[in-house]
Amino acid sequence: MTLEHDFFGILGSDDDGEVYWSDTAELGDESVEVDLSSPDEDSVSVEALDIAAAMIHAIEEVDSQARESLVADLSAEGSVTAKYIDQQVDELGPEALGNALIWDSGDQQIDFLRSLRLQRVGFHPHHNGNEEHFALLDYSISPDDTDGLLVVTIDIHGDTIVIATDT
């Protein structure tokens, strides 16, 4: 069986019922990998596909909201964002970090967050309830120098539900 959508086209599935789609989106002068996957096509609604398509069209706004949640997380006790920044600063060293930071306001944490590069947005349209991980945004400070990612998970409304690291 297959699903058809105006934006995604024909979403075929394999024999196990899994659905997968991928492409790239432009964010400023950067290309961002975008994919959509579901282990079961029967759990994917047209509404969820419409929302994913709208988020892809508004990727700059989705990125901006995710970055705002990272800034807000800096002040939280046990901040995942602050730990990620510290880890990457230690791992990269001054030269690679200097090359990666494209902002210089004097506030290293904010400059770091503003310099993060959105690498990938992965949509999970079968997770379309509140507080479910509808999309994951993978950020890296220097994709060529580190595998460490800062991952912002958002729900179907675009609200951040989890910030985590992936190394």
Whether 97 shows a pLDDT value over 90: the answer reads: no
Q: Which two tokens stand for residue 37?
A: 């996957």
pLDDT at 79: 96
Cβ atoms of 152 and 136 closer than 8 Å: yes
Give the separation between CA 12 and CA 35, rounded to whole angstroms: 14
pLDDT at 12: 67
Average pLDDT score, the chain: 92
Per-residue pLDDT tens digits for 44-91 = 999 999 999 999 999 999 999 999 999 999 999 999 999 999 999 999
pTM: 0.93
Per-residue pLDDT tens digits for 35-45 = 999 998 889 99
